[in-house]
Amino acid sequence: MEKLRTNAQHQPAVCTPRFFSFVTQKIINTLLDRLGIHSNNRALKALQNQSLLKSGFTPTYFRTLGNFLNFQAKLRHSWSYSQSMLCVGLDPDLNRLPVGIARTSLGIESFCIEIVKATAEFACAFKPQIAYFSANRAEAALENVIGAIREYAPHATIILDAKRGDIGSTAAQYALEAFVRYQADAVTLNPYMGSDSISPYQDYPDRGLFLLCRTSNPGGNDLQFMQTQQGQPLYQLVAQLACTDWNKNQQNGLVVGATYPSEIKIIRQLTGDLPLLVPGIGAQGGNLQKTVANGLCSQRWGLLINSSRDIIFKSGESNFASVASHEAKQLRDAINQAKHNTI
């Protein structure tokens, strides 16, 4: 008995899984309390049910919160630091990758990281399109590309272009994917199922939600111009809801195509300083001067003007990165000149 007691005294303390989980939860709750986020938050509950948290992994989500007070502050930093309203879209089409880049997930990753490095100083934001990654089993590449953006362009806002439009528990999983797995600062959403399709994302109050409003594709007219009971086009009602009832955390923005600059002006009048993500410049033929003139907010920012193909695929040769850098600079300068021309 004495021998057993002596051996027990020299046994090292064992950190059991239950004890580790308890300590991890205490750390997370303390951090959340300091950041003003309550532990009954639906996002936290979702995380508690994930194997990542059960295995002791502390998501980066909890480490990055608090860098900025809110999404608007993040955007203001991106604009002012870069002195740019250019958003570089990352749409790595396998069939258009340059010479020397493998048509694989590793090739996608390498290509996108080189584009990020080449254009970082000219961009206020990057917008990876999730389908080009997931369709080619390159989700891990997307995680690494986003990590590279954090490294080479820490000022930039990262917008995951996913256009999710589901509700309930499914939408909650999509939110977890965008903000925890991929660590995006913002995500694009399709709000045409109503507030149910937005509310799960609002559990991440420091992240941005860009809602489809007046899109750049011709088929957008099929629905977006339908007259509501209030006697206005549907896209205008979406714009109004996005800056009022649907914007409890002041985290919303809108997707508005540069191919319709007159509607950009109407949306800006309806929504005040709400940020606008604007595709359609370049390959789709949007008018840059009118877009900037009609879309600037009261602080003379307010726009994230996206260009993808005209930058990343301008060259199909081994000099693709330097050519992309040149094109990004040219477009950044053109946007700033259009801003200067706007009184």
Q: Could you give the residue numbers annotated as active site?
A: 163
Q: What's the Cα-to-Cα distance from 141 to each of 10, 130, 150, 206, rounded to whole Å? A: 47, 11, 14, 25
- Report CA 94 to chain centroid distance, whole Å: 22
With beta carbons less than 8 A apart as the criterion, state whether 158 and 146 touch. Answer: yes
Residue with tokens 């936290």: 44
| Residue of 135, 93, 128 lying closest to 313 (CA atoms) | 93
CA separation for the pair 256, 277 (Å, rounded): 6
Give the helix/strand (H/E) hosting 144: helix 139-152
Would you give the end-to-end CA distance of the chain in angstroms? 90
CA separation for the pair 144, 106 (Å, rounded): 10
**Dihedral, 118, 121, 127, 128 alpha carbons, nearest 10:** 30
Q: What's the Cα-to-Cα distance from 237 to each of 166, 189, 222, 241, 255, rounded to whole Å? A: 20, 16, 16, 6, 14
| Residue of 313, 166, 285 lying closest to 217 (CA atoms) | 285
Phi, psi (5° rounding) for residue 319? -90, 20
Q: What's the Cα-to-Cα distance from 28 to each of 41, 179, 225, 318, rounded to whole Å? A: 12, 17, 46, 46
With beta carbons less than 8 A apart as the criterion, state whether 85 and 304 touch. Answer: yes
**Dihedral, 194, 196, 201, 206 alpha carbons, nearest 10:** 70
